[in-house]
Structures are given as structure tokens and as C-alpha cells.
């Protein structure tokens, strides 16, 4: 069995192994990482060989860590990444290039339509009716998008939202509220089969699915990094955040919103951001928590989106695609039945 795992911001970890009598046999680790001393590689191989095939990634990582010499130096990978690669080998998880990818960058639609399209397209990928897809959003309306489990009254100031022209909508993924001004954000959704992230912890899958955008941002001169669990940041500040939803049919939705431009005063008047949350981030101002791409790159929003599309397409061989009329119709029905209803918006009061 063969497994690979590209460490986000790091190196490629490759494992080869056999399974005999329910245990890992003939295990060999390889990759473009750095490891000192050299013979620590044999220690890692010996630590994994003989483990039961049911061993989870964290237990594999613990075995590797315990076997390493006290002065061992691991650069570009970790014991946890070895565990992830082993789990992916045991479930024969495919890589990015094993799929035919589409990139969609279509006309603007309403915030509710975007959220409905997320559910429709994730379902279709899970059912095998659509290729895995990266979709860049376009919209000409402003909205506050709250997480699936957030309290409406705790997160949003309705008067402030109305005064500044922000609609309020609820998405199907968890996470926090996003202030999404028209023309002021860059949002993308990935619709992928669960097999792509098989063998990974939920936390690992976040960084794995956003590694491509870190590469795109770095190509624009932004020293982007991933801050667990779901933040994309740079030395200048937070850029944005990601969220996920996994459907029972095997479809995975992973979407992220990056700030292109922002008005910190509007943010504080529309969102009820508590003192505890701000102090947890080590700052006294919500505006200081986010540093937009406009200030970091000096580029038009459209140019940033084009770079995202180019980098993703070059990395994974993606081709241009479009949302079909049938998919639009299905999403419009879902808006009426779900996303435009007060029952959905206020399902957590």
C-alpha cells in the first residue's frame, strides 16, 4: 500500500507498507523533508512496523515520537504527518490529481443563492453527478453570513445591519459570522468527495484543502500561513477564515472568505463582537484583527481572483466550468424552501 500527504506549508510525506495478519509490515518512510540524524529514518520505520492496521493517526504519531532520538530534528514534517500518510495508505485515499477538477467563476447571484448553490453542488459531487469543483463567488449585495450553530440575536445587531444595508443569512457550515460587503471580499467554495480527505483528522483537512490558496497568496507577495483551526493569516494580521460541512452522501463542502477591503467601524456596528472574543485574540479592536488583501497586495480584487484560478488550475489540471441551468433551478427551489425562510434564519434564536 502507498500513501502520500503534502504537509501544508511543508514537505511531501510518502509511505509504503504491507499488511500481514492485521498488522503493518515492511513500512518505509520517504519524502522531500529534512531529518537529522540520518539513522532516525530507520527508527521511524521500526516504530510503525508491527502496529495494528486499526491504529489511528494520533497513536501512530505518538509511536514515532517515542522512537525518535532525543536530539532528532524534523524539518518540513511532523510525527502527525506520518500518521496521516499511513492512514491515507490504509484507506487508499486518492490525491488531488486523481480527480478531474472544474473551476467555476460565474455571474453574481444573491447571498441566499450562493448558500443554496453550496448545498446543491456539494450534494452533486457526493452523488457523483458533478466533478470536484472550485467555485469563486461573485455578488453585488452585502450580507452577514452566520454559522449554522450561531445565535442570531447574539451575533447580529439588526439595526446596524439594516442601517448599513446588510442582509442576514445562515449557511449550512459551522464557524463564525462573516461580514461580506459587496466587492469587499474574496470567497471560494470547494466541493470534494470525502475520499480526498480520507485518513485525515478534521483539523488536518482544513489546512490540506487550503494549501493551494496559501501558494496563490505567496505568489502575490503575501506571506500567508494557516492558523489552526480555520484561519488564514499573514504577519500583518488575519486575512480570512474557512468552514466545512460534510454530507452523509460523501460530499464535502469547504469554503473560505478572505477580506479584500473592510470598514472596521461598520464591522463593529453590524456584528455583536463580545469583549471576551476580542481579548482571546489579544486585541482590543475588531478592526485590528483583520488585514485585507487590498492593503497587502495593492492589487484589484479581480486580479487576485484570476491568480487564484491560475494557481489552482496549474496545480491540479483544472478546466473552466459553469453551473448548469438545472443546478441553478435546484438552488432557487432550495432558497424558497430553506434559505429564505425565517425558520432557517432563526433556527438558533
317-329 tens-digit pLDDT = 999 999 999 999 9
Residue 326 to residues 103, 141, 199, 229, 248, Cα–Cα distance (Å) = 18, 24, 34, 35, 22
- Cα(314)–Cα(320) distance, rounded to whole angstroms? 12
Residues 6+ positions from 174 with CB-CB distance below 8 Å? 147, 148, 149, 243, 244, 245
Task: Reply yes or no on whether the pLDDT at 100 is more than 90.
Answer: yes
Q: Say what the pLDDT of residue 289 is.
A: 58
Q: Say what the pLDDT of residue 250 is.
A: 97
The mean pLDDT of the chain is 93
- Cα(8)–Cα(207) distance, rounded to whole angstroms? 6
**Residue linked to cell 491568480:** 307
**Model's pTM, two decimal places?**
0.90
- Cα(59)–Cα(1) distance, rounded to whole angstroms? 19
Q: Which of 19-23, 139-143, 307-311 has the lowest mean pLDDT?
A: 139-143
Task: Give residue 291's pLDDT band: very low, low, confident or very high (50, 70, 90).
Answer: confident
Residues 253 and 278 in one domain: yes
CATH of the domain at 187: 3.30.930.10
Q: Which of 9-18, 274-283, 314-323 has the lowest mean pLDDT?
A: 274-283
Q: Which domain holds residue 27?
A: 2-90
Better pLDDT: 241 or 287: 241
Domain boundary among 59, 90, 121: 90
Mean pLDDT over 263-279 rounds to 72
How many independent structural domains does the chain possess?
2
Mean pLDDT over 84-108 rounds to 96
* Spatial contact of 293 and 186, defined as CB atoms under 8 Å apart: yes
CATH of the domain at 77: 3.30.390.50
* Spatial contact of 241 and 178, defined as CB atoms under 8 Å apart: yes
Task: Reply yes or no on whether the pLDDT at 50 is more than 60.
Answer: yes
- Cα(305)–Cα(262) distance, rounded to whole angstroms? 17
Residues 72 and 131 in one domain: no
Evaluated on CA atoms 91, 97, 100, 101, the torsion sign reads positive
Task: Reply yes or no on whether the pLDDT at 285 is more than 50.
Answer: no
Nearest partner of 13 among 82, 89, 110, 100, judged by Cα: 82
Residues 155 and 200 in one domain: yes
Residues 6+ positions from 187 with CB-CB distance below 8 Å? 114, 136, 137, 180, 255, 256, 257, 258
Task: Reply yes or no on whether the pLDDT at 281 is more than 70.
Answer: no
CB count in 10 Å sphere of residue 216? 21
Q: Which of 170-179, 214-223, 287-296, 318-327 has the lowest mean pLDDT?
A: 287-296
Residues 55 and 186 in one domain: no
Mean pLDDT over 49-78 rounds to 97
Residues 65 and 135 in one domain: no
Residues 110 and 74 in one domain: no
Amino acid at each position: 500500500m502507498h500513501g502520500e500527504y503534502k504537509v501544508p506549508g511543508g514537505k511531501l510525506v510518502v509511505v509504503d507498507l504491507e499488511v500481514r495478519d492485521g498488522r503493518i509490515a515492511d513500512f518505509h518512510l520517504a519524502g522531500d523533508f529534512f531529518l537529522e540524524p540520518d539513522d532516525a529514518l530507520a527508527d521511524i520505520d521500526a516504530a510503525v512496523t508491527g502496529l495494528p492496521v486499526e491504529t489511528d493517526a494520533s497513536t501512530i504519531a505518538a509511536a514515532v515520537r517515542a522512537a525518535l532520538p532525543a536530539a532528532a530534528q524534523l524539518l518540513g514534517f511532523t510525527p502527525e504527518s506520518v500518521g496521516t500518510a499511513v492512514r491515507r495508505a490504509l484507506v487508499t485515499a486518492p490525491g488531488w490529481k486523481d480527480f478531474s477538477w472544474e473551476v467555476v467563476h460565474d455571474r453574481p447571484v444573491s447571498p441566499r443563492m450562493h448558500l443554496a448553490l453550496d448545498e446543491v453542488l456539494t450534494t452533486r459531487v457526493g452523488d457523483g453527478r458533478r466533478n470536484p469543483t472550485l467555485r469563486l463567488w461573485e455578488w453585488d449585495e452585502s450580507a452577514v453570513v452566520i454559522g449554522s450553530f450561531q445565535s442570531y440575536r447574539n451575533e447580529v445587531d439588526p439595526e446596524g445591519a439594516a442601517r448599513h444595508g446588510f442582509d442576514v443569512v445562515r449557511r449550512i457550515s459551522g464557524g463564525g459570522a462573516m461580514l461580506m460587503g459587496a466587492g469587499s471580499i474574496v470567497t471560494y467554495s470547494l466541493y470534494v468527495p470525502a475520499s480526498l480527505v480520507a485518513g485525515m483528522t478534521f483539523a488536518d483537512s482544513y489546512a490540506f484543502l487550503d494549501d493551494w490558496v496559501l501558494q496563490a497568496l505567496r505568489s502575490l507577495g503575501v506571506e500567508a500561513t494557516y492558523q489552526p483551526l480555520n484561519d488564514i493569516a499573514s504577519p500583518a494580521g488575519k486575512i480570512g477564515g474557512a468552514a466545512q460541512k460534510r454530507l452523509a452522501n460523501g460530499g464535502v463542502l469547504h469554503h473560505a472568505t478572505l477580506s479584500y477591503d473592510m470598514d472596521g467601524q461598520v464591522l463593529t456596528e453590524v456584528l455583536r463582537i463580545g469583549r471576551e472574543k476580542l481579548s482571546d485574540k489579544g486585541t482590543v479592536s475588531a478592526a485590528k484583527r483583520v488585514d485585507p488583501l487590498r492593503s497587502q497586495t495593492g492589487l484589484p480584487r479581480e486580479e487576485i481572483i484570476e491568480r487564484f484560478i491560475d494557481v489552482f488550475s496549474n496545480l491540479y489540471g483544472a478546466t473552466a466550468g459553469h453551473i448548469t441551468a438545472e443546478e441553478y433551478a435546484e438552488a432557487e427551489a432550495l432558497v424558497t424552501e430553506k434559505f429564505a425562510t425565517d425558520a432557517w434564519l432563526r433556527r438558533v434564536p
